[in-house]
Amino acid sequence: MGAFRKIVTRIYDYRCCASGLRVMVDNIAMVDAAHLIPFSESQNDNPSNGLALCKNHHCAMDRNWIAPCPDMRWKVSSRLNSRIPDLKDFVNLNGQRVIPSDESMFHPAEASLAWREASLL
């Protein structure tokens, strides 16, 4: 496991910072370390460029459907229709607080959050 993943998942206590879900089975966490600015674009593996997200929220963020913003609240793409029941969990995330890590020195960088907000579709 890479250092970025180890650090980011640990500082969020292996908890999705969108849903609050924490699942640990046999010391294996069901959470990803997600880059705010993709590594392919930034070459930035600093933990302040990352969040711990479950697979669904990680995928939604990578597709620019949801975004953590500099005000530490989630924004949801207007493309997600609240009338579709399967999207309700994502749509209801709009305006909710990003669950922070307990380690303030690793809180997401404002520039990374701003980049992600600007990428929202």
Give the range of the structural domain holding residue 94, as residue numbers without chain letter. 3-118
Neighbours of 47 (CB within 10 A): 23
Chain segment 24-54, per-residue pLDDT in tens: 888 888 999 999 999 999 999 999 999 999 9
pLDDT for position 84: 82
Contact yes or no for 108/36 (Cβ under 8 A): yes
Name the pLDDT band for 119 (thresholds 50, 70, 90).
Answer: very high
How many domains does the structure of the chain reveal? 1
**What percentage of the chain has pLDDT greater than the value 70?**
99
The residue with greater pLDDT, 98 or 82, is 98
Amino acid in position 68: P
Mean pLDDT of the chain: 93
**Residue 105: predicted pLDDT:** 87
d(CA 113, CA 109): 6
